[in-house]
A = this chain, B = another copy of it.
């Protein structure tokens, strides 16, 4: 049976064309705002101008330069500025990396327990956080409607996650038109990211979660249907809007209530990003198909289900298991995303380094907590 759950997601989503114009009303009138952003694409695509126009005569401190895979080092500079300037509202304008970084800053600014790295490294308790608003310009991570963040540390090549309801954005503005100018590679990554998020929460074992299963399949079907369309026609509003909304729903809690979750693909992928700087979504594609092959017995029933329901495959159960694994790999490839780590020049040395890191973490992963360091090696050996 599916397990007891508590669901609470207070994020206000403003979705659609021109919604940035609603920004001013969403932020308290007296707020001392810091606008956080990334590499500056918001200056080119008009989003910065829209945000400034919406906020009219407000004084805003700006903090740019948050990287893809946002780093502790960069973010701590923002934290220092925010403390000095007595910032009491953070406005994230960018993609999931900027927002993840902003969430860490929101927790770190008022943190009194020493080095804020401990929020990530040792899950140090936070008592409060600076409120966050978001203007999302890249559909992918779902960060706009959840309380998770993943942060990297350059000095130690580590990548760590945090999750706390205190860093839920108060609001998130999603205008699909702001994403029209994104490079094809980033959209492909976004589709792959959302697709894998869904799989992490779905492709485990059955617990009679009839509705949750079907909703997860809905997200997969949507991504399969509109993904190639929005890659080919980036200014097709309908396809981009559906892709953007699917990426949000893939990780906002709607499909995960009461069901077992895996996330081993993410744990392994994070190490590949930390060691080789590979795009997050691309690390998922080089892990998941191989993880499914290694764990095809444990995941057998769900593999058969997804083969039938999402890809309309027919055949014996063994054929359906194989068909599902191939269809999943094929979907990444269709997006132009390779499914083998060897494509990135990754070989046995990296596998050994990842193994050591999993040994050091001293815990197993996956829905059965059976992804041991040795299983990680098995998976990566299939990938290289």
Give the oligomeric copy count: 2
CA gap between A169 and B84 in the complex, in Å: 39
CA gap between A17 and B15 in the complex, in Å: 36
Query: By the criterion CB–CB under 8 Å, are B211 and A242 in contact?
Result: yes
Partner of A2, one of B209, B212, B241: B241
Partner of A7, one of B4, B13, B215, B246: B13
Q: Which residues on B sit within 8 Å (CB–CB) of A219?
A: 211
Per-residue 0/1 for A1-39: is the Cβ within 8 Å of any B Cβ (1 yes, 0 no)?
111111111111111111100000000000000000000
Query: By the criterion CB–CB under 8 Å, are B242 and A225 in contact?
Result: no
Say yes or no: is A366 at the interface (Cβ < 8 Å to chain B).
no
Partner of A225, one of B1, B210, B241: B210
Say yes or no: is A50 at the interface (Cβ < 8 Å to chain B).
no
Query: By the criterion CB–CB under 8 Å, are B10 and A258 in contact?
Result: no
CA gap between A198 and B336 in the complex, in Å: 37
Say yes or no: is A333 at the interface (Cβ < 8 Å to chain B).
no
Interface centre among A1, A210, A219 (most CB of B within 10 A): A210
Say yes or no: is A214 at the interface (Cβ < 8 Å to chain B).
yes
Say yes or no: is A205 at the interface (Cβ < 8 Å to chain B).
no
Closest to A14 in B: B6
Partner of A15, one of B4, B10, B245, B249: B4
Q: Which residues on B sit within 8 Å (CB–CB) of A238?
A: 1-2, 208
Per-residue 0/1 for A208-237: is the Cβ within 8 Å of any B Cβ (1 yes, 0 no)?
111110110111011001100000000001
Say yes or no: is A257 at the interface (Cβ < 8 Å to chain B).
yes
> How far apart are A223's CB and chain B's nearest CB, in angstroms?
9
Query: By the criterion CB–CB under 8 Å, are B12 and A8 in contact?
Result: yes
Say yes or no: is A344 at the interface (Cβ < 8 Å to chain B).
no
Partner of A221, one of B214, B221, B242, B257: B214
A-B contacts, 23 of them at CB < 8 A, read A1-B237, A1-B238, A2-B238, A3-B16, A4-B15, A4-B16, A4-B18, A5-B16, A6-B12, A6-B14, A6-B15, A8-B12, A208-B238, A209-B242, A210-B246, A211-B245, A211-B249, A212-B245, A214-B218, A217-B218, A218-B218, A245-B257, A254-B254
